Amino acid sequence: MKQPGLFLLLLLAGCATSPMNSSSPEAFGRGDDNPSARLHTELGSRYYARGQYAIAMQELRIALASDSAYAPAYNILGLVHAELREDGQAEGHFKRSLDLSPNYSEAHNNYGVFLCQRARVPEAMSHFESALSNPLYATPDKALANAGNCALEKSSDPTRAETYFVRALKRAPGQTTALLGMAETHFRQGRWLAARSVLRQYSAQVGDAAMGPQALWLGVRAERKLGDREAEANYGAQLRREHPESMQAQWLISGDYEQAGSLL
């Protein structure tokens, strides 16, 4: 299942994909900065995060009217159009952002997520690696976690995914995208106790109330494998209560425990 938002939880909870901090020095291919373009790009990023896409685009157009070569604005426009499933426009904006600032790691990361969600895996992994190659990238754990999810979901390669998740967690031990990805990887490898342990670490980071349907569904399946019916029932009750319209809740109701869902 594709979760809402282009890895939106990276913005909100520390998940794979995300509007950048446009003040980050690695964003700029040029030495100057335009305060108006910066301000309206940051506003556009915030509106994007709230799902207010039309207002986000208005702010980003203002940013580009102030500076037509402002790479961060094109990056956020790429995210907005990707969320609206306007793939051609999204890809054009990501490419424009990177043409203007080839070392812009947030744009490489976001473009990588976009490509992976569309099963263009080799291209996606190349952009994640480009993001990581920049020594000024402030949050390489995000690109590492996203690369892990891409390897797990689109390449069905848990070994490669685990390598990325380990690297992400070495850099940021509480990185929630990597924690959930690692827990899912353990489960798919049949390491039920390890899956439970890492999922509990994830829960401690985000809080029980903030666990999404994929995390709760993983909890149901892991506890079912481990034979803890009380814990399984608790995860299931929370899933039905808080995410009743999710695919995972429907799988729970139908007893279709073989469905894995998706981290992308």
Residues 175-197: pLDDT tens digits?
Answer: 999 999 999 999 999 999 999 99
> 173-264 has which fold?
1.25.40
Q: Tell me the mean pLDDT in the region 145-152.
A: 97
For the chain, the first-to-last Cα distance in angstroms comes to: 7
∠183-124-163 over CA atoms, to 5°? 35
Is 1-138's fold the same as 173-264's?
Answer: yes
Is the pLDDT at 27 greater than 60? The verdict is no
| Residue 86 identity | E
Predicted local confidence at residue 6, as pLDDT: 39
Predicted local confidence at residue 33, as pLDDT: 75
Domain residues of the chain, as ranges? Answer: 1-138, 173-264
CB-based contacts of 194: which residues, under 8 Å, 6+ apart?
Answer: 183, 186
Q: Tell me the mean pLDDT in the region 228-245.
A: 98
Three-class SS of residue 111? helix
Six-digit token string for 65: 């009217």
| 132 or 29, which is more confident | 132
User: What is the residue whose two structure tokens read 């929630």?
Assistant: 176
CATH (residue range 1-138): 1.25.40.10
Tell me phi and psi for residue 42, to 5 degrees.
-65, -40
How many of the other CB atoms lie within 10 Å of CB of 157? 16
Predicted local confidence at residue 99, as pLDDT: 98
Cα–Cα dist 74/69, whole Å: 9
Q: Tell me the mean pLDDT in the region 67-73.
A: 97
Predicted local confidence at residue 21, as pLDDT: 44
Is the pLDDT at 146 greater than 80? The verdict is yes
Count helices and strands (H / E) in the chain: 14, 0
Predicted local confidence at residue 155, as pLDDT: 92
Cα–Cα dist 32/100, whole Å: 13
